[in-house]
Chain A
Amino acid sequence: MSELDNRLRLPAGTRRASARAGRRTVSLKALKVRENMLAYAFLAPSLLLFGVFMFYPLLRSVYLSLYSTDPAGRVASFVGLRNFTSLFASGLFLDGIRVTALFALLTVPAGLLIALVLAALTHNLLRGKRLFQFAFSLPMVLSVGSAAVIWKFLFHPSLGMLNYGLELAGIAPVPWLTSPKWALLSVSLMTVWMNLGFNYIVISSGMQGIPDDMYESARIDGAGPMAMFRKITIPLLSPTLFFVLVVSIISAFQSFGQINILTQGGPMNSTNVFVYSIYREAFVNFRFGTGSAQALLLFVVIMLLTLIQFKWVERKVHYQ
C-alpha cells in the first residue's frame, strides 16, 4: 500500500495539477477504501471456500472435542477437557506421535537423499537421459491405492515376490507386514518408493534451473565434480530441497492410504500413525469427541513443526 501512496503523490507540479491536488487528498481515503473493498471482493470466493471447508470444520472440531458422542456420532454430553486428558493418560497420543515421528524419520531423509542422488546422476547423463527420467518419475502417476495394493502382493507372507526372491537366495522369509518389528519398515519402504517420483521431478527441475555458466567458471577455476556438487548444486538447490522437505514431512504426517490398505495400524499398533488413529476413532468407533481432540492435537504438533522449519531450517536456505 505504501508504494501505491508514493506513486499517487508524484504528479503534483503544474498549476492545474495542484488545483486538482486538493480534491485528490480528499478522495485519497475514499480511494483506499475502494481499493480495499475491491480486494475483498476478489478474495470473497476463496474466503467463502476457506470459511466453509476450513474454518467452520476447525471450529466444529473444537466444539466436538469438548463433548462425548453416542454410538451413532450424535453429541451426547459435555465432558470438558476429559477427551484430552484421557488421550494423554492412555498414552495413545504419545504412542501415535512416536510412530508418526519414526515413520517421518524413516521416509523423509531417505526419500530426499535417493531422489537427490538419482537427479544428480541423471542430470549430466548424455545418453538415455529421457529414459531414466521417465523411469524414476514413474511412481508419481500411481495413486496411493494402487501402489499399496501392488506392494501388498509383493509383501504377501507366503506367496509374495519378495519372500520368493529371498528364498531363492537361501535367506529365511521376512514377515514383512505381520511382525511388529518389520511392519513400519515395510510401509516406509513402500512410501519412499511412492514419493520418489514427485521428489525426483521437483529436484530435477531445480537442477535444470541452475545456470550452466556457474559450473563453467567453477570448472575453469579447477573445481572437480564433487566440489561443484557441494559448493554450487547444493546451495543453489537449497530452496527446492527445503520445499521438498516441508512437503515430505507434512505428507509423512498425513499418510493414511498405504497404512489403511497394508496394515490397518497393526500389528500391535506398530504402524498406527496419528492420522490413521484419528480415522479409526472418528469413523470406525464413531467417537467424534476423542477423534476431534486428537485432530486438534495433531494440528498443534504440525503447526509447531512447520514453525520450527521456517525459523531454523530456512536459515540455511540460499535464495538467489
Chain B
Amino acid sequence: MKRFGFGRLRFRRGMILVLAVFMAVVTGCGANSGAGDNTGANNTSSNNEKSGDSGAVSASAAPVKITWWHSMSGTGEKAINKIATDFNASHPGIQVEAVYQGKYDESLNKLKASLGSDSGPDLMQVYEIGSKFMIDSKMITPVQKFIDEDNFDLSSLEPNITRYYTIGGKLNAMPFNTSNPILYYNKDAFRAAGLDPENPPKTFEEYEAAAKALSKNGKPGAAIAIYGWFMEQLFANQNAEYVNGGNGRDAAATESLLASDAGVKTLEWWKKMVDEKAVANLGRDTDDTDSAFAAGQVAMTLNSTAALRKMVDAVGGKFEVGTGFLPRPEGVKEGGVVVGGASLYIMNNKPEEQQKAAWEFIKYVASPEVQAEWSVSTGYFPITKAAYDQQVLKDNMAKYPQFQTAVDQLHASSASNATSGAVMGIFPEARQIVEGAIEEALNGQKAPKKALEDAAAQITDKLEQYNATVK
C-alpha cells in the first residue's frame, strides 16, 4: 500500500506534465506550418528566370503537366472536369489536371501552406475578395504579361468584369466564374398576397411593403441571410464606397467606410424588417434561406445568380420562381452590383514553360464556346459577350428566362470605383466582422449605427496591421 502511494505521487506529477504537454501540441501545430512557410519565402520569385526559352520545345517532347486548384463542387466540378478533359483532348502538348481543394477559404489556406514548396498548383482559382492578397503575396505572374505578349484581345470581355480584376492598371487574373446577387421571389405567393407577380420590389421601401404583405400570423414572408457579401453589394448599389483610397483602388485602403450613411440606412432597413417579423433571420448560411424559399416557407430572398439553376431545380414545379434586381433605397439613381465569383491566377514559382501552358488553358477557358457551356451548366454568367451568340446559351435563356435578370443588372450598373468593388487584403476577415455587426444589430445588442462604427474601427485596425506587414 505504501509503495503504491509513492508510485502514485510520481504518476500524478508525470500526469500533470503529460497533460500540459498534450495541450501544447494542440496549440503548437499552428506554429509548425508557419515555420515551414518562411524558409521558402524568398525563393518563390527566383524560379521563373531559369527556364529561358524552353517553352518552344514543348510540343515535340512529353506534354507539359499543369495542376489547377479549384473550389467548385457538385455541378460546377463536373463542368470543370469536362473543360479539362476537352482541353486535354484538343491540346496534345498540355495536360491539365483539375483538383478540387475545398471551398474558396480552404483552398486559399492550402495555397498559403504550400508556399515555398513545389506542391502548389500552376493555376489557382481564387475568390474575388482574395484579389488584393494574391497581388500582395507576390506569388503570381499577372496575366497582363501574357496578354501583352500574345496581343490577346480583351475588348470582347465584359467591361464590368475586367474592371473588377484590373488593379494597379493591369489585369492580374483572368476572370472565370462571375455572378451577382439577385432577388428571388415566389410568383404564386405574390399572387395570393395581392402583389403584382410581374413587378418585383425594386426599392428598400417596396421590398419592406412586399415582405409585410407576404407575412402572416407572425411568420415572416421573406428571409435575408447574414452574408457580408450582401452588405458589400447594397453599398455598391447606392454607389457608396466600402473603404477609402477610392475603394482601395487608387491607393491601399487604410480606413473602413462601413459606418457611412449608406451602411446605416441599409442596416436600419434590415433590422426594422426583422423587428416587424417581415424578414426572418435564419443565420449566415444562404443554403438555409435557399431551402426555406424552395420549401415555400418564405416567398422572397436574396442570393447569387450562381444559385439560380440549383434553386429552380429544387423548387421543381411547386411554384413559379421570379427574379429581380437587388433593391436600393428610394431616390438613389446611381450605382449597381459588383461582380462576384472567382478568377484564375498563374503562379510564378513554376517554370516559364508551365506558366505559358497555363496561359494557353486560360485562353481556352475564356473562349465563347467554353464560357457558354460553363454558364449553362452552372448559372454563372459568361465573361465574354460573344458567348451570348452561342446556340446553347440562347436555348438556355429561352428555358430559364430568369437568368436574363443577372445579365441585365450587370449591364445596368454604372461604372465607378464603388461598383468596381472594394479592394483590401483582409477582405475575408472584414466580411466576418461585418457579419458579426449585422448580427449584433439584428439581435438588438447594439444600435445599427453603433454596431457598424465598432466594426469599422476593427476593420481599420486590421487594415493598419496588414499594411504594416506588406512591403
| Chain A residues with a Cβ under 8 A of chain B | 50, 53-58, 60-61, 63-64, 68-77, 156-159, 175, 177-180, 246, 250, 254, 264, 266-269, 275, 278, 280, 282-288, 291-292, 295-296, 298-299, 302-303, 306-307, 310, 314, 319
A60:B20 contact, CB within 8 angstroms: no
Which 4 A-B pairs give the minimum distances between C-beta atoms? A57-B28, A295-B27, A288-B34, A60-B31
Most buried by B among A55, A71, A278, A295: A71
User: In angstroms, how far is the closest chain A Cβ from the Cβ of B23?
Assistant: 5
| Bound form: Cα–Cα A310–B16 in Å | 8
Fill in one digit per residue for B254-297: 1 if any A CB lies within 8 Å of its CB, else 0.
00000000000000000000000000111110001001100101
B51 within 8 A of partner (CB)? no
- Among the listed B12, B34, B105, B440, which residue makes an inter-chain contact with A284, where contact means beta carbons less than 8 Å apart? B105
Given known A-B contacts A57-B28, A77-B469, A269-B436, A310 and B35 have beta carbons under 8 A apart: no
User: In angstroms, how far is the closest chain B Cβ from the Cβ of A14?
Assistant: 30
| Chain B residues with a Cβ under 8 A of chain A | 8, 12, 15-16, 19-35, 37-38, 41, 105, 109, 112-113, 115, 133, 136-137, 139, 226, 280-284, 288, 291-292, 295, 297-298, 425-426, 428-429, 432, 435-436, 439-440, 443, 445, 465-466, 468-470
User: In angstroms, how far is the closest chain A Cβ from the Cβ of B99?
Assistant: 20
A250:B439 contact, CB within 8 angstroms: no
> Which B residue sits closest to A294, measured CB to CB?
B27
Chain A residues lying within 8 Å of B281, measured Cβ to Cβ, are 175, 178
Chain B residues lying within 8 Å of A53, measured Cβ to Cβ, are 25
Given known A-B contacts A54-B21, A266-B435, A299-B24, A282 and B30 have beta carbons under 8 A apart: yes
Chain B residues lying within 8 Å of A285, measured Cβ to Cβ, are 426, 428-429
A250:B28 contact, CB within 8 angstroms: no
Chain B residues lying within 8 Å of A250, measured Cβ to Cβ, are 19, 22-23
B19:A267 contact, CB within 8 angstroms: no
Chain B residues lying within 8 Å of A310, measured Cβ to Cβ, are 12, 15-16
| Bound form: Cα–Cα A319–B298 in Å | 61
Chain B residues lying within 8 Å of A280, measured Cβ to Cβ, are 432
Chain A residues lying within 8 Å of B137, measured Cβ to Cβ, are 71-72
| Bound form: Cα–Cα A284–B113 in Å | 11
Number of A-B contacts (CB under 8 A): 180
- Among the listed A61, A74, A177, A314, which residue makes an inter-chain contact with B12, where contact means beta carbons less than 8 Å apart? A314
B469:A296 contact, CB within 8 angstroms: no
Given A61-B27, A283-B30, A286-B112: 12 more A-B contacts, CB < 8 Å: A58-B24, A60-B31, A157-B280, A158-B292, A178-B281, A254-B23, A266-B284, A267-B284, A295-B27, A299-B23, A302-B19, A306-B16
| Bound form: Cα–Cα A73–B470 in Å | 11
A159:B30 contact, CB within 8 angstroms: no
Given known A-B contacts A69-B469, A72-B37, A156-B288, A288 and B31 have beta carbons under 8 A apart: yes
> Which A residue sits closest to B8, measured CB to CB?
A319
Chain B residues lying within 8 Å of A314, measured Cβ to Cβ, are 12
| Bound form: Cα–Cα A162–B106 in Å | 31
A61:B283 contact, CB within 8 angstroms: no
19 CB < 8 A contacts A-B: A53-B25, A57-B25, A58-B31, A64-B31, A68-B469, A71-B425, A74-B38, A75-B38, A156-B291, A157-B288, A178-B281, A178-B283, A250-B22, A266-B439, A268-B443, A280-B432, A298-B27, A299-B20, A302-B23
B27:A268 contact, CB within 8 angstroms: no
Given known A-B contacts A64-B35, A158-B292, A268-B445, A70 and B469 have beta carbons under 8 A apart: yes
B26:A254 contact, CB within 8 angstroms: yes
Chain B residues lying within 8 Å of A295, measured Cβ to Cβ, are 26-28, 30-31
Chain A residues lying within 8 Å of B133, measured Cβ to Cβ, are 71
Chain A residues lying within 8 Å of B465, measured Cβ to Cβ, are 68, 287
A57:B112 contact, CB within 8 angstroms: no
- Among the listed B12, B283, B298, B469, which residue makes an inter-chain contact with A76, where contact means beta carbons less than 8 Å apart? B469
User: In angstroms, how far is the closest chain A Cβ from the Cβ of B398?
Assistant: 33
A63:B426 contact, CB within 8 angstroms: no
> Which A residue sits closest to B13, measured CB to CB?
A310
Chain B residues lying within 8 Å of A74, measured Cβ to Cβ, are 37-38, 41, 115
